[in-house]
């Protein structure tokens, strides 16, 4: 699986069709993208001094936009220029198992100085992203992520297609990433690592120009470790057309909620002078970006016909469903007093102090060696998840997409399938999927500190 030797390939530039996203070199003959994970400086504050302790792909924040079409292959050679192992996960892609990018589960880590070739089949269009999946609680927080867009012939016609990666960084008083706070037991046992500085595509409150009267597609991606964003759109009517890359019933919205790892696609008609984006998750609006009408770009020429999308697929037949109970416990102010770790039942205090383990599924501290369930290929499965903790959790399933069923009608179950779903404290959700993709697939909380400290196990589909 490790591929160390590559021919030198002359790369041609590929235009990035999104807001402030750098182009990436593409191999002329074999469509090979190349990413290098390494230490770099990012101008997060915007004052020119730069945060020098970032880890980035190709020294850009976010990493380069990777863009392919449905039905193609995504071939990416990832070189590790860090001093620690890494891997890359293609978040939301119904991937083949050996290309999923989970170190010690689907592949060996990419060691410093080594290169690994990912060959990913792209069977579905939509908005996705890629990110480090080795010590992701630190590597993602330092900037190892980027957008992945899969186009389709049936995509709605727009004048502008903008991709916005939203993140909150924890910076110290010098504008550098707060190294000392990594591994904080408080973060791991509470809501996770929250930042104090918001960026969109690596900058603070960016502005982008659009044609007056244009129709826009806005692709929002949350790269946060733990924060749940609420992005408010002022100045235009926004129509939600896809969530987590999958089509949903078109719905007009004013605020879109994005838990870590989630995505949302919006169609917006720019009939005024500007569109203002703000994060209102704290109750106090915070600027997240602006789209400004610029007459110098000329007039929009496409016809703004009513948005007509294919209907989301109906839920699978549940007559022979395999139900898997997932009782989530742990964390601060929780009711977990003890759990099994490495075969031994230990009190929570010992787990926290000696092992930094704080969360459990069904009374067992989770990790990549723990199998939650063994599933036959083709089986319809329902993960019955009970969040019996004091904190919300963004539950992400690798290799599959699921329908969401909830008992609470106010919870707003989505019309389409998802790959990441936010489960509120004390609530339940049934995540239904068809196990049609063989392999060892991780099911974990995308509050990355929670995953590192016990909230994740493996589903074995065979």
Q: Is 322-461 in the same CATH topology as 11-151?
A: yes
406 - beta bridge partners? none
pLDDT the model gives residue 14: 28
Query: To 10 degrees, the CA torsion angle through 138, 139, 141, 142?
Result: 110
Three-state secondary-structure class, residue 349: helix
Specify the DSSP class assigned to residue 116: E
- Architecture per CATH, 160-297: Sandwich (2.60)
Closest by Cα among 188, 184, 177, 193 to 56 = 177
**Where does 11-151 sit in CATH, by number?**
2.60.40.420
Q: For 350, left (φ over 0), alpha (ψ -120 to 50), or beta?
A: alpha
pLDDT the model gives residue 15: 30
pLDDT tens for 217-232 read: 999 999 999 999 999 9
Mean pLDDT of 441-449: 98
Q: b/e string for 291-316 if b means 16 or more Cβ within 10 A? A: bebeeeeeebeeeeeeeebeebeeeb
pLDDT at 11 over 50: no
Could you give the CA distance from residue 298 to residue 304 in angstroms, rounded to a whole number? 16
Structure tokens belonging to residue 148:
């992945």
| Mean pLDDT (the chain, rounded) | 92
pLDDT the model gives residue 273: 95
Q: What separation in angstroms does the CA of 274 have from each of 19, 24, 105, 294?
A: 16, 30, 47, 9
pLDDT at 29 over 70: no
pLDDT tens for 322-381 read: 999 999 999 999 999 999 999 999 999 999 999 999 999 999 999 999 999 999 999 999
For residue 450, the surrounding DSSP H or E stretch is helix 448-452
Contacts with 79 (C-beta within 8 Å, 6 or more apart), sequence order: 34, 35, 36, 37, 110, 114, 115
**Sheet strands side by side (includes 66-69):** 66-69, 145-151, 126-132, 88-91
pLDDT at 5 over 70: no
- Dihedral sign for Cα atoms in the order 251, 427, 420, 380: negative
459 - beta bridge partners? 373, 441
pLDDT tens for 146-187 read: 999 999 999 999 999 999 999 999 999 999 999 999 999 999
Closest by Cα among 395, 380, 383, 382 to 455 = 395
Tell me: cis bond preceding 97? Omega within 30 of 0 counts: no
**Where does 322-461 sit in CATH, by number?**
2.60.40.420
pLDDT tens for 106-133 read: 999 999 999 999 999 999 999 999 999 9
Specify the DSSP class assigned to residue 21: P
Rg of the chain (C-alpha set): 21
Tell me: cis bond preceding 62? Omega within 30 of 0 counts: yes
**Boundaries of every domain in the chain:** 11-151, 160-297, 322-461
Q: How confident is the model at residue 293 (pLDDT cuts 50, 70, 90)?
A: very high
Q: Pairing state of beta strands 371-375 and 456-461?
A: parallel
pLDDT at 49 over 90: no
Q: For 266-325, give the DSSP string.
A: EEEE--SSEEEEEE-TTSS-EEEEEEEE-GGG----S--PPP--PPPPPPPP-TTPEEEE
pLDDT tens for 193-207 read: 999 999 999 999 999
Specify the DSSP class assigned to residue 180: G
pLDDT tens for 298-317 read: 989 888 888 888 899 999 99
Could you give the CA distance from residue 405 to residue 388 in angstroms, rounded to a whole number? 18
Structure tokens belonging to residue 22:
């750098």
Mean pLDDT of 123-144: 98
pLDDT the model gives residue 9: 24
pLDDT the model gives residue 3: 26
pLDDT the model gives residue 30: 53
Mean pLDDT of 80-90: 98
pLDDT the model gives residue 248: 95
Three-state secondary-structure class, residue 394: strand
């Amino acid at each position: 699986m490790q591929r160390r030797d590559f021919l030198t390939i002359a790369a041609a530039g590929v235009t990035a069709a999104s807001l402030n996203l750098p182009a990436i070199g593409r191999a002329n003959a074999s469509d090979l993208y190349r990413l290098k994970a390494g230490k770099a400086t990012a101008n997060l504050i915007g004052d020119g001094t730069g945060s020098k302790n970032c880890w980035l792909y190709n020294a850009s924040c976010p990493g380069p936009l990777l863009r392919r079409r449905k039905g193609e292959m995504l071939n990416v050679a990832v070189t590790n220029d860090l001093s620690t192992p890494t891997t890359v996960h293609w978040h939301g892609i119904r991937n083949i198992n050996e290309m999923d990018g989970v170190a010690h589960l689907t592949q060996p880590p990419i060691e410093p100085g080594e290169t690994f070739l990912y060959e990913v089949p792209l069977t579905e269009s939509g908005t996705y992203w890629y990110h480090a999946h080795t010590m992701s609680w630190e590597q993602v927080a330092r900037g190892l992520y980027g957008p992945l867009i899969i186009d389709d012939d049936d995509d709605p016609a727009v004048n502008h297609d903008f991709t916005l990666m939203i993140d909150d960084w924890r910076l110290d008083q010098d504008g550098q990433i707060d190294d000392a706070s990594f591994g904080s037991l408080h973060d791991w046992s509470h809501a996770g690592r929250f930042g104090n500085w918001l960026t969109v595509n690596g900058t603070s409150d960016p502005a982008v120009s659009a044609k007056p009267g244009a129709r826009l597609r806005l692709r929002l991606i949350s790269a946060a470790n733990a924060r749940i964003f609420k992005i408010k759109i002022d100045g235009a009517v926004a129509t939600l057309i896809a969530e987590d890359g999958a089509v949903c019933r078109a719905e007009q919205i004013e605020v879109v909620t994005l838990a870590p790892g989630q995505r949302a696609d919006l169609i917006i008609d720019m009939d005024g002078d500007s569109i203002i984006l703000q994060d209102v998750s704290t109750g106090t609006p915070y600027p997240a970006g602006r789209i400004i009408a610029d007459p110098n770009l000329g007039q929009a020429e496409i016809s703004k016909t009513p948005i007509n999308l294919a209907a989301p697929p109906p839920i699978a037949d549940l007559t022979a469903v395999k139900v898997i109970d997932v009782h989530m416990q742990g964390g601060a102010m929780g009711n977990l007093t003890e759990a099994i770790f490495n075969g031994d039942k230990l009190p929570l205090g010992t787990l926290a102090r000696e092992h930094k383990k704080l969360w459990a599924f069904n009374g067992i501290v989770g990790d990549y060696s723990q199998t939650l369930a063994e599933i036959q290929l083709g089986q319809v499965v329902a993960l019955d998840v009970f969040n019996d903790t004091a904190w919300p959790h963004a539950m992400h399933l690798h290799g599959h997409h699921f329908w969401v069923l909830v008992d609470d009608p106010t919870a707003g179950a989505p019309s389409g399938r998802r790959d990441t779903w936010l489960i509120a404290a004390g609530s339940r959700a049934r995540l239904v999927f068809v196990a049609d993709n063989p392999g060892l697939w991780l099911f974990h909380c995308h509050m990355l500190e929670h995953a590192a400290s016990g909230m994740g196990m493996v589903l074995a589909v065979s």
